[in-house]
Chain A
Amino acid sequence: MSDARPPLVELRGMSISFGGVRAVDDVSLDLSGGEVVGLLGHNGAGKSTLIKMLSGAYRPDAGEIRIDGRPAAIHSPRDARRYGIETIYQTLALAENLDAAANLFLGRELRSGWGTLDDVAMEVETRQVMARLNPHFAKFKEPVRALSGGQRQAVAIARAIHFNARVLIMDEPTAALGPQETQQVADLIVQLKKEGIGIFLISHDIHDVFDLADRVAVMKNGRLVGTAPTRAVTKDEVLGMIILGTCPAAAIPGPGALAAGTA
């Protein structure tokens, strides 16, 4: 994974505080095209907050984001989308009163020659993407409220991959899914990886991550404990990173690593 080319995404020294609490403290992390990086940690470790800075939802207090080696100005979700960064939020971030097509195109609607919404064209494209993700899906006219958890997830994923994403952020993508749907998401991740998309996979379940990620990055109390190639570490070692903040020998320690554990 270490070419001469700069990585697709570099996060450098990212920090953000909320009301005096350092939610994310000096975290640096990178991601290459076609790579899956699993971001692990307890609830409240700062995973989602870190990722929301990349997706434009939060503005960092300090730090720099580089895309293809060049500094990127990401001040809003719109900016992030412009860089090809798409996010599937844990909450899915769907407007429940709108149908699948309206959600898929929210913020970048297709329009007719007169500038009006082209709902028919949007539905046509939605049918194409959804056919790939969930071939049995048929509730195109109904509000998202009427869909099952897996169907909603499919809409959220469709929205993220339909616009030629280069970087995909998946925040707990399988938390609300059954075993079969979880497998579908896993297959999709493998497929997207082949297409050269870089993926941040956030989870508090290390089993998910171990099967899919090339590297794991562990956060604790807002700081990076360390990163390691998934193959070079065991699940127990990663659990140690998550719970204790110790860093195994095969891992590259971050500022959050427990000093005694590295000796």
Chain B
Amino acid sequence: MPPRRGLADLFRATEIDARLVGMLGALALIWIGVDLLSGGAFLTPRNLWNLSVQTASVAVMASGMVLVIVARHIDLSVGSILGLVGMIMGVTQAEFLPKYLGFDHPLIWVIAFIVGLAVGAAIGLLQGAIVAYLGVPAFIVTLGGLLVWRGCAWWVTSGRTVAPMDDAFRRMGGGIEGAIGANWTWVVALIAFAAIVWRTLHARRRRRQVGFALRPIWAEVTVAGLACLAVWLVVLVANSYDLPPRVAERIAAERGLTQGLSIAHGLALPVLIAVGVGIVVTFLATRTRFGRYVFALGGNPEATELSGVDTRRVTVLVFVLMGMLCAVAAAISSARLNAATNALGMLDELYVIAAAVIGGTSLGGGLGTVAGAMLGALVMQSLQSGMVLMGLDTPLQNIVVGLVLVVAVWLDRLYRSRTLKGSAG
């Protein structure tokens, strides 16, 4: 390739992932397009806030699906695991625990959540062990799981819907109670700013210690500045979506305020949970041996085995993690619905896999990022709620989502084959 100077070089100096920028660009296009087509109903604080809450559950599962797919497996059972775990958490908090602790005991949501995590982990352990030790392909094991766990969910209550959820538990689903308010949102933002600055300085110091080339100062400042700007924009949106006037009046009255009639939602708890999960899974994927082995396994399973890695154990752990993330997603979904129903999480496996793939995870294994998958989830949800705002019928929505999935993967392949030729030179 001939050396291209100018903008391209400047961009390379920042070491920003070009793929991620492309996805953000696509997302911006969708948002602006849908906003124009829906007569300005999309880019409102209220809609964006709801969009973030609606994305949380699929985003949480997509972060785990990245590792599953990177390790050359697939998990078709995530929607059913979500359904079963949601049902078990529902029964635990609405029917079982109140018998002993009484309703609205502060420990109820904690116990219910831990029970859910344990069930999710156990299901993942079982499926992972069958894949790793019995050698049954993950496609089959989890296809079976799709039916088995949905059937088990029905069994827990014979198909009856469990409601309502514990008050504290419901906060995990968002809504007025599940928003942290303007002040706490600023606290979160300040922590994010500090983390961004610390990361930049830390990476720079480490590179200098060992004498690697440093990024130019302007590039560091630009990247850190853009990250802070993004956080700031999110805070602005979250803090300009006000509580309904009546709720605000009530809260104002409770606190003895007279002029507090505009109270902001701030960030939603499920969104914070999803972001937290994203950070943790990214950490696991990039900074730990476990994550390194998952990627090595996807790149060359035989070589990984020959390097002395216990590949079976790694495979099992990937599925255990996936199961636990399904439990987190189950908490978010059932809390948001304020009920555990038999249909909870139905077809979610398709959205989760689509999100991961749109986010750049290669079905051939070995390639993928958690951030990409979560962004993929946001793209999918944006399309869907955008089409709802535009008044499109459900069948048409499905057609569009299906087409977008195929086109997105095709574009990704084009991009990959070009960059690979470029670097192999």
Q: Which residues on B sit within 8 Å (CB–CB) of A57?
A: 305-306
Q: Which residues on B sit within 8 Å (CB–CB) of A87?
A: 306
- Per-residue CB proximity of B289-330 to A under 8 Å, as 1/0? 100100110111011111111000000000000000000000
CB distance from B363 to the nearest CB of A (A): 14
Which of A11-19, A22-30, A101-109, A224-232 lies at the binding interface?
A101-109
CB distance from B362 to the nearest CB of A (A): 9
Chain A interface residue number, banded: 20 to 34
CB distance from A241 to the nearest CB of B (A): 30
Measured CB to CB, the nearest residue on chain A to B424 is A146
CB contact list, A204-259 vs B, under 8 A: none
Q: Is the CB of B305 within 8 A of A98?
A: no
Q: Is the CB of B420 within 8 A of A95?
A: no
Q: Does B366 contact A (CB under 8 A)?
A: yes
Q: Is the CB of B287 within 8 A of A117?
A: yes
Q: Does B414 contact A (CB under 8 A)?
A: no
- Identify B300's interface contact among A95, A107, A123, CB under 8 A: A95
Q: Which residues on B sit within 8 Å (CB–CB) of A121?
A: 210
Q: Which residues on B sit within 8 Å (CB–CB) of A123?
A: 210, 212
Q: Does B417 contact A (CB under 8 A)?
A: no
CB distance from B295 to the nearest CB of A (A): 6
Q: Is the CB of B295 within 8 A of A77?
A: no
Q: Which residues on A sit within 8 Å (CB–CB) of B292?
A: 98, 102, 106, 109, 117
- Per-residue CB proximity of B264-294 to A under 8 Å, as 1/0? 0000000000000000000000111100100
- Identify B287's interface contact among A95, A96, A116, CB under 8 A: A116
Q: Is the CB of A120 within 8 A of B307?
A: no
CB contact list, A55-97 vs B, under 8 A: 55-57, 76-78, 81, 87, 89, 91-97
Q: Does B207 contact A (CB under 8 A)?
A: yes
Q: Does A194 contact B (CB under 8 A)?
A: no
Q: Does A142 contact B (CB under 8 A)?
A: yes
- Identify A102's interface contact among B207, B209, B296, B420, CB under 8 A: B296
CB distance from B306 to the nearest CB of A (A): 5
CB distance from A172 to the nearest CB of B (A): 15
CB distance from B412 to the nearest CB of A (A): 15
Q: Does B19 contact A (CB under 8 A)?
A: no
Q: Is the CB of B308 within 8 A of A94?
A: no
Q: Is the CB of A146 within 8 A of B423?
A: yes
CB distance from A214 to the nearest CB of B (A): 27
Q: Is the CB of B307 within 8 A of A106?
A: yes
Measured CB to CB, the nearest residue on chain A to B303 is A93
- Per-residue CB proximity of A139-162 to B under 8 Å, as 1/0? 000100110000000000000000
Q: Which residues on A sit within 8 Å (CB–CB) of B366?
A: 95-97
Q: Is the CB of A109 within 8 A of B306?
A: no
Q: Is the CB of A93 within 8 A of B306?
A: yes
Q: Does A176 contact B (CB under 8 A)?
A: no
**A95 vs B298: C-alpha distance in the bound complex, in angstroms?**
8
**A81 vs B309: C-alpha distance in the bound complex, in angstroms?**
12
Per DSSP, chain B at the interface is helix
**A142 vs B420: C-alpha distance in the bound complex, in angstroms?**
10
Q: Does A132 contact B (CB under 8 A)?
A: no
**A121 vs B420: C-alpha distance in the bound complex, in angstroms?**
27
Q: Is the CB of A93 within 8 A of B287?
A: no
Q: Is the CB of B289 within 8 A of A117?
A: yes
**A91 vs B287: C-alpha distance in the bound complex, in angstroms?**
28
Q: Which residues on B sit within 8 Å (CB–CB) of A108?
A: 308
Q: Which residues on A sit within 8 Å (CB–CB) of B302?
A: 91, 93
Q: Which residues on A sit within 8 Å (CB–CB) of B209?
A: 120
Q: Which residues on B sit within 8 Å (CB–CB) of A78?
A: 308
Q: Is the CB of B304 within 8 A of A106?
A: yes
Q: Which residues on B sit within 8 Å (CB–CB) of A97?
A: 295, 298-299, 366-367
CB distance from B419 to the nearest CB of A (A): 10
CB contact list, B17-63 vs A, under 8 A: none
CB distance from B285 to the nearest CB of A (A): 11
Known pairs A117-B287, A117-B292; A96 contacts B308 (CB<8 A): no
Q: Is the CB of A107 within 8 A of B423?
A: no
Q: Does B206 contact A (CB under 8 A)?
A: yes
Q: Is the CB of A93 within 8 A of B307?
A: yes
**A80 vs B156: C-alpha distance in the bound complex, in angstroms?**
50
Q: Is the CB of A96 within 8 A of B288?
A: no
Q: Which residues on B sit within 8 Å (CB–CB) of A117?
A: 286-289, 292
Measured CB to CB, the nearest residue on chain A to B15 is A141
**A111 vs B288: C-alpha distance in the bound complex, in angstroms?**
9
Q: Give the one of A56, A87, A117 with max B CB within 10 A.
A: A117
Q: Which residues on B sit within 8 Å (CB–CB) of A76?
A: 308
Q: Is the CB of A98 within 8 A of B309?
A: no
Measured CB to CB, the nearest residue on chain B to A114 is B287
- Identify A109's interface contact among B206, B210, B289, B305, CB under 8 A: B289
Can you name 15 A-B residue pairings with CB atoms under 8 Å? A55-B306, A77-B306, A93-B300, A93-B306, A94-B300, A95-B295, A95-B303, A97-B299, A98-B296, A106-B303, A117-B287, A120-B209, A120-B210, A120-B212, A121-B210
Interface contacts beyond A77-B308, A120-B212, A121-B210: sample of 16 additional A-B pairs, CB < 8 Å, sorted by A? A77-B305, A77-B306, A77-B307, A81-B308, A89-B303, A91-B302, A92-B303, A95-B299, A96-B299, A97-B366, A107-B304, A107-B308, A116-B288, A117-B286, A117-B289, A120-B206
Could you tell me which A residues sit within 8 Å of B by CB distance?
55-57, 76-78, 81, 87, 89, 91-98, 102, 106-109, 111, 115-117, 120-121, 123-124, 142, 145-146
What 10 pairs between A and B have smallest CB-CB spacing? A95-B299, A78-B308, A107-B307, A93-B303, A97-B366, A97-B299, A107-B308, A106-B307, A95-B296, A116-B287
